[in-house]
A and B are shown apart, each in its own frame.
Chain A
Amino acid sequence: MAERSFKAEVEHLRLGDGDTFTGEGILAITKALLECGVGYVGGYQGAPISHLMDVLADAQDLLGELGVRFEANASEAAAAAMLAASVHYPIRGAVTFKGPVGVNVASDALANLSSSGVNGGALVILGEDYGEGSSIMQERSHAFAMKSQFWLMDPRPNLPSIRRSVEQGFELSEASNTPVMLMVRIRSCHVTGSFETRDNKPPKLSVKDALANPRRDFSRVILPPMSYIHEQDKVNKRWPAAEKFIVENKLNEQFGPQKAPVGIVVQGGMYNNVIRGLQRLGLANSFGDTEVPIYVLNVTYPLIIDEFLAFTQGKDALLVVEEGQPEFIEQNLGSMLNRAGSSTKLHGKDMLPMAGEYSGQIVLDGLTAFLRKAAPDLLPGQVRAPNADSVEIPDLSKTVPIRPPGFCTGCPERPIFAALKLVEQELGQHQIAGDIGCHLFGSLPPFEIGGSTMGYGLGPASNAAFDGGGEKRAISILGDGGFWHNGLSSSIGNMVFNNSDSVAIIVDNFYSAATGGQDVLSSRADNVSKSTGHPISDALKGVGVKWIRQIDHTYDVTKMRDVFREALTTDYDGPKIIVASSECMLNKQRREKPLRAVAVQQGRRVDVPRFGVDSDVCTGDHACIRLSGCPSLSLKRLDDPLRDDPVASIDQTCVGCGNCGEVADAAVLCPSFYRADVVHNPGGLERWWAGVRTSFITSLQARRQRRRLEFPEVSG
């Protein structure tokens, strides 16, 4: 069950000719796929396109009606490999994953696919995770298109443009027998807008039909001599065909006046920021009517030399607005100008920063710098000679704390890292490698455990150099998502085969949690269309792991710590794998909270646990927080002149997971924590017995009260 349900939104995917669709980018992409007669779709979730997978999963009924096969692929490599169906068959196929890390994983299949070439349109919808909000290393997917010769589209970030690009992408792919990658940036995936829809089209040839009439073509196989022929084919046939299609169908766009001393070349995805910058300089209006000509590259690879040189005619200088590094486009355009013997000056990274997101301010600064140099007359007086009369705003950079994402309230991974921190306090610091997933938050304060991540499912593999063991054992962490993505073979198989003397912890939270709670093979929930319920420990046994410890309740910090200690100190010198399983609390709450509310309403007995802190027992040393970092465990200042430091306090959002109490207990911290279980609709006997207890307790309390002074505000 995914974190976000699109059940309501997918109904909009049924809109037909002349209707208006209003919604998010990912839904617009899905709608466009259906309008284009796609035959099969798939992919692997990852920000920012996780929700595209969720939309497809929620739209399975509609996909089924149209005869479209949906596959939740095991990895990006598996997704890209699925596009092989378009090699021999004239079927349009689309897969989605994130870039550039997803492309890294998929690159083997993408390279093979590009060499073979395609018959049906093959589209990779790529969520480029770059800039603010990104969770990965900052690179570009652009290079993959260049090295394998597939085409890269980067449309202007509005729904009609994105939708049109899907259609053009398929056509371009078919016209040039080459796969096409359609890149959407982080915000484009969730940008809202409207466009006029058309009827959905069932595929001309369905995958079922294709299976009934199989085809084979030896010339597509990547073996010599065909592989040499493929390379020649790429440059001699497919590339020119692509250029022809791009020019004839005007995939790239030009805005602004024909004649002007300067011009701007921009990636489609950067267009809106450039227009906004020009607006702020008074050179464009809110509808994008601009005084500076703009050449918009909706296709960023390949670049079209004739189209570009025509744009440069009569211009003294150009600015290339190209986000990310290195500046592939600028270099390419520069060589075009040079070979053509053009005198037009080319600017780009000399006016804009080489690295980092091109936010509104950065583009504005770049445009200003460029125009000041190349066409100062265009700039308004205010910009040329600004009045230095701005108000001084106090600097808050030392005041405002950073707020990185962390474990959610009640997260089952928190106690794992608390236990790991405790065992490190006992046995000293260890070599710890992390992986991709929510558990990577364990490397942030307050835990600060693990310092590396080498790729999805590669946590244990990244400790391979230490597999021989030594005075201390290396520890690695792997999530259930990473385990099934790649970890079982690349990490665990590697440990078994090499007799690794290391420890691996598999964090099993029942979902691919970091990407939004999609199901994986070991998910416990029943999934109508997918096969779940395959325990990780069975897979471990299957590849030959002998030392396996399965923990089914990660919140038992003492037990977790003891298992870690055992793994680190046992005489057994083979791979030691701990599977720590408890359900992702975000998903659990989403499922259970409504059910609980109904049960309370219906008069059934419900026990709701929540934690609290006795503020007069808490001394304000915050040791508990350093083993938790839970959002619901915070601090409050007491109205007591004798107290300097704020004390711990638990707010209403506590879900009663138990980590606080367990940690206070396991670490012998302090007795301030308590758990209150509020029983709704208790039975008659329970109510009577509670009454007996209460009267006993209150009588003793009254007895003591009579013998002492009471200061309500001291202990209150």
Chain B
Amino acid sequence: MSDKIIKLAVMAVGGQGGGVLTNWIEAMARAANYAVQATSVAGVAQRTGATIYYVEMAPMAERMPVFSLAPAAGDVDILIAAEMMETGRAILRGFVTPDRTTLIASSHRALAVSEKATPGDGIANADEVRAAAEIAAQNLILLDMEQIAVGVGSVISASLFGALAASGSLPFERSAFEDAIRASGKSTGPSLAAFAAGFDAAKAPTGEASVPQAEPIAQEVRGGAKLLAGWNALVGEAQDLPESMREMALSGLRKVVDFQDLKYGRVYLDHVRTILTLDNPAKDHVLTREAAKYIANAMAYDDLIRVADLKSRANRFARVRTEMNVTDDNVMHITEFMHPGAGEIVGLLPARLGKNIENSPRWMDRIGRMFGKSRRMRSDTIPAFAQLYFLGGLRRWRLRTHRHAIETAHLAAWLDTAKSFLPDQYDLAVEVIRSRRLVKGYSDTHARGKSKFDQVLQGIALVSGRDDAADWAHRLREAALQDEKGAALDGALETIRSFS
């Protein structure tokens, strides 16, 4: 007995317009004299959760076919997935099979809460989904359909509809698809544009349609002649570094000079070169490359001066205007949400004074109450901008601040710890350097990061000397990045203590 029913499922994230897409498909099939049935699950699932729409159709006959109300594993002809992990979910549920399924999917990501909330990098691996899609699908169209649609001022449902037309998996002409959009009567112009864009992208040979390669980072530097000469001298010195770390060192150099000045850049290079002298060329200078990265991050710490400096720059204002699509006909206001903690304010004081105050809880409390208030700063206004500008200008004063003294000491202690494992425990030294990744954020978050960093270093001290010490150090760091409170880290440390 023959099976002429076409089965099509749409998997989307609530709010992506899966319903609109389903309506188009259904209307098109009906217009082409097909018997068709669509179903969906409304309810709370529409609130940003994963949703499925399902359509079955067959040429109209004397009798109505018996249609199913939900897709079944191994029995889907066309699967449209409006997001990369929903593509993965479709494959996981068996809706994409090599014997029959045309998979039309968008490679863009809408991150799930679990991916976003991880303190480290919790973003799911899209490459695994891509690899699985290539195996599971009979025909595959996998493109950034979101970008294609947004690029022409529309939404993803339209570009996916275009790709569906291009796939040739439904027995309808392109014009039938476009008629369905027109018949729906809602923002037909942008929808048709996105439809065409999706159609063309899906028709393009795979090579061309792939995501364009990112432009190499422009090495542009601007400034007065004297400053440029100083910069070029530093770059010249950096060019003498072994090739495997040169790019990283140049990036680091840019960051610290941008943070402070040329002289500070030389301090950076000195640090890197000191590590280099202790490094092992046989290990491809991994240690120095990692040091070049994390020393730059450590030296360009996030103090109030840096925040004010970054927020008051011309290119920042320009960037905000672009992001917010501000035209010359608009006026833009910018409100900053500043809430410095007492520690950050005391950090601006001269080193000795700052240290004394920080040791006095009474004073810290007082300063917290006096200055550590929440400030909404309208940085597009003259008084607020002037404040930011002044604060950013304290750059010249920075190297004498209490915060700088703290950061310098922390940097030295950290590098000394790494060095102490050389030359015998090279891999462990590299892991010590990499642990610096844990120090980030402002106020409490910063304090929490530092405490995790300290705990990891304590753990490292416990395992040092073991053959698998570097593995453990790596595991500790990954654990520290897994959750906010450090439960995973505590667990890992517990394990270490049990055998050390």
Q: Which of B225-255 touch A at CB < 8 Å?
A: 227-228, 231, 247-248, 251-252, 254-255
Name the one of B4, B247, B261, B440 contacting A641, with C-beta atoms under 8 angstroms. Answer: B247
Q: Is the CB–CB distance between B66 and A276 below 8 Å?
A: yes
CB distance from A686 to the nearest CB of B (A): 6
Q: Which chain A residue lies CB-closest to B1? A: A285
Q: Is A669 an interface residue (CB 8 A)?
A: yes
| Residues in chain A near residue B208, CB distance under 8 A | none
Q: Say if the beta carbon of B135 comes within 8 Å of chain A.
A: yes
| C-alpha gap A621/B443 in the complex (Å) | 12
Closest B residue to A712 using CB positions: B220
Q: Which B residues are in CB contact (< 8 Å) with A188?
A: 69
Per-position binary interface string of chain B over residues 22-36, scored 1 when its CB falls under 8 Å from any chain A CB and 0 otherwise: 000010001000001
Say yes or no: B38 contacts A192, CB within 8 Å: yes
The interface size of chain B toward A, counting residues with CB under 8 Å, comes to 149
Q: Is B382 an interface residue (CB 8 A)?
A: yes
Known contacts A619-B302, A712-B218: does B337 contact A671 (CB below 8 Å)? Answer: yes
Judged by a CB distance under 8 angstroms, whether B222 is at the interface is yes
Q: Does A470 contact B (CB under 8 A)?
A: no
Q: Which of A609-667 contact B (CB under 8 A)?
A: 610, 612, 614, 616-617, 619-623, 625-626, 629, 631, 633-635, 637, 639-642, 644-646, 652, 661-662, 664-667
Closest CB-CB distance, A125 to chain B, in whole Å?
A: 16
Give the contacting residue for B98; candidates A288, A391, A620, A629; CB below 8 A.
A391
**What residue in chain A is nearest B219 (Cβ atoms)?**
A713
Residues of B contacting A666 in the complex (Cβ-Cβ under 8 angstroms): 374
Q: Considering the complex, give the chain B residue whose CB is closest to the CB of A160.
A: B64
Contact A403 B85 (CB under 8 A): yes
B70–A191 CB distance below 8 A: no
Q: Does A190 contact B (CB under 8 A)?
A: yes
Query: Which residues of chain A are near B296, meaning CB under 8 Å?
Result: 642
CB <8 Å contact, B257 and A711: yes
Contacts of A698 in B (CB 8 A): 314
- A639-B68 Cα distance, complex, nearest whole Å: 47
Check A668–B44 contact: CB distance below 8 A.
Answer: no
Residues in B315-341 with C-beta less than 8 Å from chain A:
315-317, 319-320, 323-326, 329-341
Within 8 A of B (CB), among A373-387: none
CB pair A360 B258 closer than 8 Å:
no
User: B213 to nearest A CB, angstroms?
Assistant: 12
How many whole Å from A268's CB to the nearest CB in chain B? 12
A382 shortest CB reach to chain B, Å:
13
Decide: B135 and A676 in contact? CB cutoff 8 A: no
Give the CA-CA distance A419 to B68 in the complex, in Å.
46
Docked-complex contact B42 and A47, CB < 8 angstroms = yes
Chain A, range 46-62, C-beta contacts under 8 Å to B? 47-48, 50-51
Residue of A with least CB distance to B224: A706
Cβ of B200 under 8 Å from chain A: no
Looking at the complex, which one of A642, A668, A676 makes contact with B332 (CB distance below 8 Å)?
Answer: A676
Within 8 A of A (CB), among B79-93: 85-86, 88-89, 91-92
Q: A709 to B227, Cβ gap below 8 A?
A: yes
Q: A282-B1, A400-B88 are in contact. Are A446 and B336 (CB under 8 A)?
A: no
Q: A333–B485 Cα gap in the complex (Å)?
A: 56
A503 interface residue per 8 A CB criterion: no
Q: How far is the CA of A404 from the CA of B114 in the complex (A)?
A: 10
Contact with B along A267-294 (1 / 0, CB 8 A): 0000111011001101111111100000
B64 touches A287 (CB 8 A): yes
Contacting residues of chain A (126-174) with chain B, CB-CB under 8 angstroms: 129, 132-133, 135, 157-158
Q: With A and B bound together, what is the CA distance between A437 and B217 in angstroms?
A: 49
Q: Which of A558, A634, A709 contacts B257 (CB 8 A)?
A: A709
A189 surroundings in chain B (CB, below 8 A): 42
The interface residues of chain B lying within 8 Å CB-to-CB of A711 are: 220-221, 254, 257-258
User: CB within 8 A of A646: which of B14, B48, B121, B440?
Assistant: B121
Chain B residues within 8 Å of A677, by CB: 332-335
- Which one of B168-176, B304-312, B422-430, B465-473 is at the interface? B304-312
Inter-chain CB contacts under 8 Å: number: 404
Which residues of the other chain, A, contact B206 by a CB distance below 8 angstroms?
none
Q: Is A193 on the interface with B (CB-CB < 8 A)? A: yes
Judge whether B68 and A674 touch: CB under 8 Å. Answer: no
Contacts of A642 in B (CB 8 A): 248, 251-252, 255, 293, 296-297
Contact status of A629 and B39, CB under 8 A, knowing A671-B311, A712-B315: no
Q: Is B118 an interface residue (CB 8 A)?
A: yes
Residues of B within 8 A of A407 (CB): 47-48
B324 x A715 contact (CB < 8 A): no
A696 touches B255 (CB 8 A): no
Of B41, B218, B320, B341, which one neighbours A674 at CB under 8 angstroms?
A: B320
Q: Which residues of A contact B5 (CB under 8 A)?
A: 286
Shortest beta-carbon distance from B31 to chain A in Å: 12
Contacts of B1 in A (CB 8 A): 279, 282-286, 289
B281 sits at the interface (CB 8 A)? no
Q: Which of A403, A634, A661 has the most CB of B within 10 A?
A: A403
0/1 per residue, A55-86, Cβ < 8 Å to B?
00000000000000000000000000000000
Q: Does B498 contact A (CB under 8 A)?
A: no
A679 to B329: give the CA distance in the assembly, Å: 9
Q: Find out whether the CB atom of B43 lies under 8 angstroms from the CB atom of A135.
A: yes
Residues of B within 8 A of A192 (CB): 26, 36-39
Which chain B residues lie closer than 8 Å to A710 at the CB level?
A: 221-223, 315
Question: Does B156 have its Cβ within 8 Å of any Cβ on chain A?
Answer: no
Known interface pairs A187-B39, A286-B66; A714-B91 also in contact (CB < 8 Å): no
A536 at the B interface (CB under 8 A): no
Q: In the complex, which residue of chain B has the Cβ closest to the Cβ of A440?
A: B44
B66 / chain A contacts, CB cutoff of 8 Å: 158, 271-272, 275-276, 286-288
A404 to B112 Cα, complex, angstroms: 9
CB closest residue in chain B, given A190: B40
Q: How far is the CA of A668 from the CA of B317 in the complex (A)?
A: 24
Q: Please, which residues of chain B bring their CB within 8 A of the CB of A617?
A: 302, 307, 310-311
Q: Verify B441–A679 contact, CB threshold 8 A.
A: no
| Interface assignment of B313: CB less than 8 Å from any CB of chain A | yes
Residue B214 CB within 8 A of the other chain: yes
Question: Do the beta carbons of A668 and B341 come within 8 Å of each other?
Answer: yes
Please tell me if the beta carbons of B47 and A612 are within 8 angstroms of each other in the complex: no
- Considering only residues 20-64 of chain A, those with a C-beta below 8 Å from chain B are 22, 47-48, 50-51
Most buried by B among A50, A190, A679: A190
Q: Distance in Å from the Cβ of B103 to the closest Cβ of chain A?
A: 12
Cβ of A89 < 8 Å from any Cβ of B?
Answer: no
Beta-carbon contact of A393 and B136 below 8 Å: yes
Q: Does the CB pair B65–A612 fall under 8 Å?
A: no
Q: Does B491 contact A (CB under 8 A)?
A: no
A616 to B228, CA, bound (A): 23
New A-B pairs, 8, CB < 8 Å, besides A617-B310, A669-B444? A188-B69, A279-B1, A361-B73, A399-B125, A403-B85, A622-B119, A642-B296, A661-B337
5 contacts between A and B (CB under 8 A): A191-B37, A445-B117, A514-B44, A617-B310, A697-B380
Closest 3 CB pairs of A and B: A360-B72, A47-B43, A405-B49
